């Protein structure tokens, strides 16, 4: 959905940067004490009268009137530590972040400048009420790391809020206020039914201007802006700006189809490209936060990577769909099920896997202990395995992380100089003694290996499924592939402790 330069400019601020930027998104409706039009009453996830349509041709006023009482302003405070103010890990050392903070805060510390041990930072964003007793959805980067949270309702009443749970991976947080009375609330719709071209309405607090309504259409679905394993965004062109973070985007029936979280903007203002967390993902995460305060994710124990056209040829695939397994963790659910490195996962529990991030989301949303079906591509044919999904260890990632950068390797004909692994080389590269292979010492510019991104220090572990331990074995394997008429050689590499496959073209050698 978003190309690389869009991803680089997409702004999604982590917790302590507190909602200075973001998008708007709301949930459906089911409002206590508020009389709603029949088309907006979606307490049962369906309009009361299917023949009644939202009066969009005459404006959005009825829809806005129905949902706006459930949209709130969220103000936050956080005390930052010295490392955030001016230390080596400070965001002020990032030129892009320095420009951002200078634009909104004025003067910021110079790199290495001595700063006070603590500094109070404030910000604000948006949120929406999802229950009459005061549960509110917002972004993690708005409230997830705040020391103090205040919520202002449409009528101007201010309440202190407590954090009930937060999930940094999906940028969602759940907060609670005690209003001593039933509150108007809204409900999530089905983002799986959202299509590019659908009309949407966004409500929030851009620049602290409460109760702002903007309208537009869905530009794209299923988007990723940072290639993170759980990204699932709806792209909208309804204008959203700083302060809209955590707010809702509605469909024309008053359903919340997304929670706005980021915008693409070279300048910091809206240019018509906003991203909202799909409501189906948000609903699943919020339900867990309501019950446990945290999110448990399913775990396979594999490292996976995308498939490019060269890899597809090497694996004898008709297209680039699927997730290529580059590594299987020992004693993991995948290992116990018989998953192997070089397998391509095509389906999970009956759902098609077109890219690695989809598999990550499918597995993460699966309850630990559930037996799930995997459809694989192995050695030129489809196979089916049963896997008992595990529970992701620790607080942070693991289930199915994308491999990231994809290296590659080969022999001098491919533009590589190789050397055997020596004790000194192992020490320099911090390699485990169990790692076997040959090290890339030089890459010829503009060679096939260079074009595939191979770098000095990469370890070639196997070529065309044959383990290699010295440069001669690599050379022989490449020669054999060339004589057989193969267009590529499939290599398993290690870089920075991560295993990755790469298919290196032979035609140019």
Inter-residue contact 328 to 339 (CB < 8 Å): yes
Q: How far is CA 180 from CA 50, 177, 291, 303, 395, in A?
A: 35, 9, 22, 49, 35
Q: Tokens in use for 283? A: 């609903």
Q: Tokens in use for 399? A: 């289930």
Choose, from 41, 90, 167, 171, the residue flagged as catalytic: 171
Q: Which of 300, 301, 303 is nearest to 501 (CA)?
A: 303
Give the residue carrying structure tokens 């607090």.
205
| Sign of the torsion formed by the C-alpha atoms of 129, 135, 137 and 141 | positive
Q: Which of 18, 14, 280, 245 is nearest to 137 (CA)?
A: 245
E strand spans, 212-343? 212-223, 233-236, 248-250, 256-264, 274-278, 298-299, 302-305, 323-328
Inter-residue contact 328 to 322 (CB < 8 Å): no
Q: Which residues pair with 404 in a beta bridge?
A: none
E strand spans, 316-399? 323-328, 344-348, 351-352, 371-378, 381-388, 390-391
**Exposed, middle or buried by CB within 10 Å (0-12, 13-18, 19+), for 484?**
exposed
141 is catalytic: yes
Separation of alpha carbons 144 and 168, rounded Å: 8
171 is catalytic: yes
Q: Tokens in use for 421? A: 């692994």
Choose, from 23, 219, 245, 357, the residue flagged as catalytic: 245
DSSP secondary structure letter of residue 110: P
Separation of alpha carbons 176 and 198, rounded Å: 32
462 is catalytic: no
Separation of alpha carbons 138 and 245, rounded Å: 7
Separation of alpha carbons 196 and 219, rounded Å: 5
Separation of alpha carbons 458 and 409, rounded Å: 8
DSSP secondary structure letter of residue 399: T
Choose, from 90, 141, 191, 343, the residue flagged as catalytic: 141
Q: Which residues are catalytic?
A: 141, 171, 245
């Amino acid at each position: 959905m978003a190309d690389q330069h869009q991803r680089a400019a997409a702004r999604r601020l982590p917790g302590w940067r507190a909602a200075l930027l973001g998008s708007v998104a709301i949930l459906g409706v089911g409002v206590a004490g508020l009389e709603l039009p029949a088309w907006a009453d979606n307490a049962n996830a369906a309009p009361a009268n299917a023949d009644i349509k939202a009066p969009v041709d005459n404006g959005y006023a009825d829809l806005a009137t129905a949902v706006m009482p459930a949209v709130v302003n969220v103000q936050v405070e956080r005390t930052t530590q010295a490392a955030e103010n001016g230390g080596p890990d400070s965001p002020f050392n990032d030129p892009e972040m320095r420009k951002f903070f200078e634009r909104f805060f004025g003067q910021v510390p110079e790199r290495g400048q001595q700063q006070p041990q603590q500094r109070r930072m404030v910000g604000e964003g948006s949120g929406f009420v999802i229950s009459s007793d005061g549960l509110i959805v917002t972004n993690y980067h708005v409230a997830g790391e705040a020391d103090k949270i205040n919520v202002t309702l449409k009528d101007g009443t201010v309440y202190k809020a407590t954090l009930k749970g937060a999930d940094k991976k999906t940028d969602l947080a759940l907060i609670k206020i005690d209003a001593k009375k039933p509150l108007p609330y809204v409900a999530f719709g089905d983002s799986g039914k959202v299509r590019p071209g659908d009309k949407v309405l966004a409500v929030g607090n851009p620049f602290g201007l409460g109760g702002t309504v903007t309208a537009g259409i869905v530009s794209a679905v299923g988007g990723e802006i940072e290639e993170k394993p759980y990204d699932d965004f709806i792209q909208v062109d309804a204008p959203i700006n700083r302060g809209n973070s955590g707010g809702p985007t509605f469909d024309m029936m008053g359903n919340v189809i997304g929670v706005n979280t980021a915008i693409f903007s070279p300048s910091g203002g809206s240019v018509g490209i906003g991203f909202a967390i799909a409501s189906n993902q948000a609903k699943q995460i919020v339900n867990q936060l309501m019950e446990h305060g945290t999110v448990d994710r399913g775990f396979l124990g594999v490292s996976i990577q995308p498939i490019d056209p060269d890899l597809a040829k090497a694996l004898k695939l008709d297209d680039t769909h699927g997730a290529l397994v580059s590594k299987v963790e020992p004693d993991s659910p995948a290992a116990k099920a018989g998953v192997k490195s070089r397998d391509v996962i095509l389906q999970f529990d009956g759902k098609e896997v077109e890219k690695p991030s989809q598999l990550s989301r499918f597995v993460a949303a699966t309850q630990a202990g559930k037996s799930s079906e995997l459809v694989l591509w192995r050695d030129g044919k489809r196979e089916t395995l049963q896997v008992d999904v595990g529970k992701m260890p620790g607080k942070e990632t693991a289930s199915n992380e994308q491999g990231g950068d994809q290296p590659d390797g080969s022999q001098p004909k491919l533009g590589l100089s190789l050397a055997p692994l020596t004790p000194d080389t192992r020490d320099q590269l911090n390699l485990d003694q169990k790692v076997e292979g040959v090290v890339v010492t030089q890459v010829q510019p503009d060679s096939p290996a260079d074009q595939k991104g191979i770098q000095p220090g990469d370890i070639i572990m196997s070529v065309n499924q044959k383990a290699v331990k010295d440069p001669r074995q690599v050379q022989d394997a490449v020669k054999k592939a060339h004589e057989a008429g193969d267009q590529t050689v499939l290599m398993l590499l290690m870089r920075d402790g991560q295993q990755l496959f790469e298919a290196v073209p032979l035609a140019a050698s």
